[in-house]
Amino acid sequence: MNPTFQNFDLATSLSAFIRRMTSVTVKFWTRSGDGWALLVDVFVLMPTLKYISSSVDDIRYTLDSNTVLFVLTDGVYVMFSDFPLQTDIFDNGFSRTPSASALNRLRSSASLAEDAAGGPLEKSSSYEAIMRLNTLDECIGDAERTRLAVQADMDEVLKRNRRVLQLVLGERQQEVALAYKRNALAVEGRRLKEAEQVRDDARLQIRRRREQLLAGRAALNAGRAEHARAQDEFADDRLELDSLAFELAKERRRVCTDLQKLYPIEPILDKTLAFSIRGVELPNTAYEGFDEDKLGTALGYTAHLVYLMAYYLGVKLRYPIYPSSLRSYVFDPISVLQGPRAFPLWPKGSVYYRFEYGVFLLNKDIEQLMNSQSLLVIDLRHTLPNLKCLLLALDAQQ
C-alpha cells in the first residue's frame, strides 16, 4: 500500500523549540478487529536520513514496499533501513546499514551540538546545495592550480627569453614613440599651414585696411578743408541773415506804424477803456443798444487792420480773416462745428450767437499776434485796447 497523509505546517502549529529538534518518533496505527493497533513505532534521528531526490516525481531508485518518505523543504529523504544501497558514512565508508554504535554516535553528536549551541540545531543547507558547493569549490581549486601552473610556465619562458623580449619590447617602444612623433609632426605641420594661412589673410586685411585708412584720411582732410570753408561761408551768411532779419523786423515795425496811421486807434476821453478806430467807436463786448451799422464798420476796420498786421509780421492766423468792409467775416477751420464755418463780423441781419463767436475768433487772432511779440493778454474781450497795446509795443522797438 502507498498511503498519503495530509500535510501539516510545523511553523504555525508548533513552537520554535519543537520545530528545531533533531529527532522525531514516527508511529503508524492500523485498524485491527474492533479497535486500533500500533503497527510501526520507530525513532528517527534527522541527521541520519538519506537524501534521494529533490521531489517525489524525480526518484530514480526502486524502493521497498511500505517505504516511509520524508518530504522536507529541500527534498525527499528516507531512513537507512528503508534504502538498501547506502554507505555507512559513520564507519569509514563501508557499504552496509549503519550500526547501532553509529546511530549512538550521531545521537551523541546531535546532543553535543545542541548543548554547544544553547538549544536545538538550526537548519543550514540541503544536501544538494552542499554538493553543489563542494563541486564548485573543486572547480575553483582546479582553476587556481591551472592558473598557477600557467603562470609558472610563462615565468620560465620569460626568464629564458628575457634578453630577446627586452630587445623586442624596446623595438616596439621605439616604433610606438616614432609613430607618435610622426603623428605629432603631421599635426604641427597642419597647424603651421593653418597659421600661415591666417597670417596671410591678416596681412591682406591689414593692407586693405591701410589703404582704406589712407583714403579715409584724405577724405577727412578734404572734408575738414571744406568744413572750414563752409564755416567761413556760414559765418558770412549768418551775419547777412542777422542783418536781413534786423532790417526785416525794422521794416515790419515801420509798416505797422504806417498801418497805425491808416487805422488810428484813439481813446475816448469820457469813457474808461473805450477806443475808436478811424473815429468809429467799438465797445468791449457790450454791444446791446449800440448802432449796428457803426458796429459793423468798426469791426470791418479792425478785421482789415489785423489781416494786414498778420501779413507783414509773417504770422499765419489760426482763424483766417476775410476783410470786406461792412461784410467781413472770420473762418474757423479747426473746431468741431455743425453748419457753416464762416462767422460774420456784422450784427445786422445775422444770427447773433454766430456774430458773437466771430468777434471771439477775431480777439483770438489779436491774442496770437501779441504772443508772437511776447506780449501778455490781460482780457481777451478788449479788442481795440489789445490792438493798441500791440501797435505801441511795435512802435517802441524801432
Please say which residue of 58, 92, 122 terminates a domain.
Answer: 122
Question: Cell numbers 463767436 label which residue?
Answer: 357
Q: Are residues 299 and 317 in the same domain?
A: yes
Q: Are residues 79 and 27 in the same domain?
A: yes
CA atoms within 13 A of residue 383's CA, in its CB half-sphere: 28
Provide the domain count of the chain.
3
For 89, the grid coordinates are 558514512
Contact criterion met (CB below 8 Å) for 263 and 325: no
- Split at pLDDT 50, 70, 90, the class of 367 is very high
Per-residue pLDDT at 217:
94
For 283, the grid coordinates are 465797445
Range of the domain at 381: 263-396
CB atoms within 10 A of CB 326: 14
Q: Are residues 155 and 101 in the same domain?
A: no
Q: Which of 251, 284, 249 lies closest to 265, judged by CA?
A: 284
pLDDT in tens, 81-114: 665 544 433 333 333 344 555 455 555 555 554 5
For 125, the grid coordinates are 543547507
CB atoms within 10 A of CB 294: 14
Angle (CA) 344-349-355 rounded to 5° is: 30
Contact criterion met (CB below 8 Å) for 330 and 342: yes
Above pLDDT 70, what percent of the chain?
Answer: 82
Dihedral of the CA atoms 53, 57, 59, 61 (nearest 10)?
170
Q: Are residues 16 and 88 in the same domain?
A: yes
Q: Which of 35, 36, 39 lies closest to 26, judged by CA?
A: 39
The answer to whether position 191 is within a domain reads: no
Per-residue pLDDT at 104:
56
Mean pLDDT of 72-87: 68
Q: Are residues 28 and 86 in the same domain?
A: yes
Mean pLDDT score across all residues of the chain? 81
The answer to whether position 279 is within a domain reads: yes
Q: Are residues 282 and 381 in the same domain?
A: yes
Per-residue pLDDT at 289:
77
In whole angstroms, give the CA distance from residue 86 to residue 76: 15
310 or 289, greater pLDDT: 310
pLDDT in tens, 145-196: 899 999 888 888 888 888 887 888 888 999 999 999 999 999 999 999 999 9
Looking up residue 268, the CATH number of its domain turns out to be 1.10.418.40
Q: Model-level pTM?
A: 0.44
Contact criterion met (CB below 8 Å) for 76 and 56: yes
Helix (H) or strand (E) holding 213, with range, is helix 162-262
Per-residue pLDDT at 82:
60
Q: Are residues 24 and 113 in the same domain?
A: yes
The answer to whether position 214 is within a domain reads: no
Q: Are residues 94 and 30 in the same domain?
A: yes
Strands (E), 207-356: 265-267, 275-277, 280-282, 321-322, 329-331, 342-344
The answer to whether position 176 is within a domain reads: no
The answer to whether position 255 is within a domain reads: no
The answer to whether position 34 is within a domain reads: yes
Q: Are residues 96 and 65 in the same domain?
A: yes
Q: Is 253 helix (H, G, I), strand (E, B) or coil?
A: helix
Q: Are residues 140 and 118 in the same domain?
A: no
Q: Are residues 378 and 267 in the same domain?
A: yes
* 38, 212, 214, 231, 233 from 222: Cα distances, Å: 139, 15, 12, 14, 16
Per-residue pLDDT at 127:
62
Per-residue pLDDT at 125:
62
Q: Are residues 76 and 149 in the same domain?
A: no
